Structure 1
């Protein structure tokens, strides 16, 4: 069991203990969140013992969390409100039609009576069934609409037995259904359908006026008795002792667990800091400046202007001077074991290329880690190809071609121009930054890997990258071994997104599973000799768009050996687009087993052997 799961388990036990220990006759029980408070003399059946309520005052909760009053040998009514001071309960029929339950309503076995206010009285009524809904010239004010049955085309009327004449009924055939005696007159003339009942025993008015609780007590007499007690004090000392006995060991376990967590986290943090410091000791010969966390707060003006946020950290705009602006990336302390930080500082510190972001400095102050980059006013390529108003942000095909070529040269430098080969593993528009002259800069080396230049592939235990840009072999070795060709695949996806002005990934929801895969759509357009105006409209050079599309399709071939190297990609982008030949269809064999079985006839490389990954 992990520390977090053990902690959640202890909290669950603690919560359960606290939940089952309260006074069983508490005053705050309800059915649902908005039902009336249920307390003495009422009790909730199946949730409270008999001594919590007075005989006959039983309530229950329906499936819809309505509070139900079930009158003995009578009817079930829903409770709207309970007034404990006036000892009155308001109930209503579930269908909001009180006349439906009048024939079966019998209060004699219950402790309740009808509430009759001054100048009101209980009256007798007779109910009649008339075969048609209306009689000629008759006033329907006495009709009971909720008792009507449109299926059999009759309407129910009611007359007071004592003074209303039967001749006031419609002239159409009518027959008497039944009579009811001694009911409040408002039952039949109540738009809200509320019935008011009251009780005289137990008499808890005095307790309510004094702010005390009313409780049932056992006595030797045959009649049940009640008493007034201060609220929340009954059994307080016993409950406190019981709670203490239960919570004592639990709190001790929590305290011991907390101390263990502090010790464990402190030990891990010390190992983490030692690893970082050892790395930085070896790194002193490089150029980037080491900043204190206080320096970063000053540079960013207390982190006031946020540029963006990702899985590994948050980026803020900063200023070293009036002329020099920087982007400060504060790394999340909860992510990884320092690999992101070491990758960025260790790899970017040794890179010097016009198409790679320069690392200005870093911070390793206690548990705080940060990276300081150049700031680019045009932000990332993503802004210009995925923006909702991308038309107003369109850069023109000549500039998009230059950006594509710059990114390709940057990746080629990573693969061939450094002392060790650098595999980026996260090439995408978001990680291509643009300076004031729209020169592209590759950024974010948190997932990068190093390997010797004379070795081609790298062994990996887990996939890495961003969905939609990850090469197939990173997911499954059935497609081949992982090598620098994974970056070539990601770059191909980037080119296709530049051409299409949209993401190459497809939303795999049930609504969109029938959509055509976006790169395959571009391939079909080119293969059928159709123009790409669906993407570029009336702006720019069609030849550039076609060149970028063909190069992109060459780069996303499923088998790594079928993809060109970045050196060849640069040559194709620098050359004439008319000389480019359409690549084989990369979507002809979508299954990994079929692709693996196909023998490659390409001249772009030989079978690549897996090599060990370097630290």
Structure 2
């Protein structure tokens, strides 16, 4: 009973660990092929319960199956990638004019910060922008007008590199990747920025690095816990419970069987020892003497008797031939073996004695037996005469 109770205790403990809330949050995505997998601390609105996401980490899907992050002061951005272990998210501008988003970009009132920050200086220059080709400037026609061109340059450039006909609009710090890249657009150089953001709270780096799943411990407080991912097998504690619950009774059974087997072996050993102490009795067997068949004259010398109506013989028990097992009938000829005076049908005993030189009843050999021979003629005469009288 104690072992059974211990087994159920381990099972209960293994299935009732309060690590995360009862409702399991299944990862979701807007595009199952290319879209990022959304899980805690992010939540996909309309596809995951509210407790599956941390405040400020809500995403949604647009009509193009893109995953969208809405920043309160900067608008909507497309989520390209999420690294849950490093706690970084990569977003980009869904519109064509990146500089417009850069000028208005702000992470205020959000849980995010910039992984890498680059400062960009925006300039307002005259419309003849070809004279600025020798400068390290990038034109943005989406911000330009008929009489001016908006250009940008890296803020680490010295003030002497600003053309005289340009004036500075603003300096902007942009959380970008380690390096920006330049692409050809309408035969002009355009700067395109991918924003790389990071977050510190909730801190799930160590949990994710160890293969765990981060989430709320319950639905009432914003306390985050870590749980091992579910697998197809039983939890480790449940396996330990099964091993203990089944292993201890099995071990006890093995011990009992071993004791029983040892007792049986010990009893057999004592029994064999007692038998070995008994005196040895030697039984000598006398050799069996098998006599060979008799010859014809010897067989013919044995007395014959013609049985009368009374069927009386010297031995009242001799009423059946021991060879053919048939009862004697009147007028049948019998032959007896003189040494033992046993009677048989004459034909039966003649065939027998040709093969075996012993009496079929007593197994005595007529030649080796010592007995009083009977007279053939007198026996035959007496039995026959008595029947006639």
TM-score (norm 2): 0.45
Q: Which structure would you say has the larger RCO, counting Cα contacts within 8 Å and 6 or more residues apart? A: 2
For the pair shown, which has the larger CA radius of gyration, 1 or 2? 2
TM-score by length of 1: 0.30
Higher helix share: 1
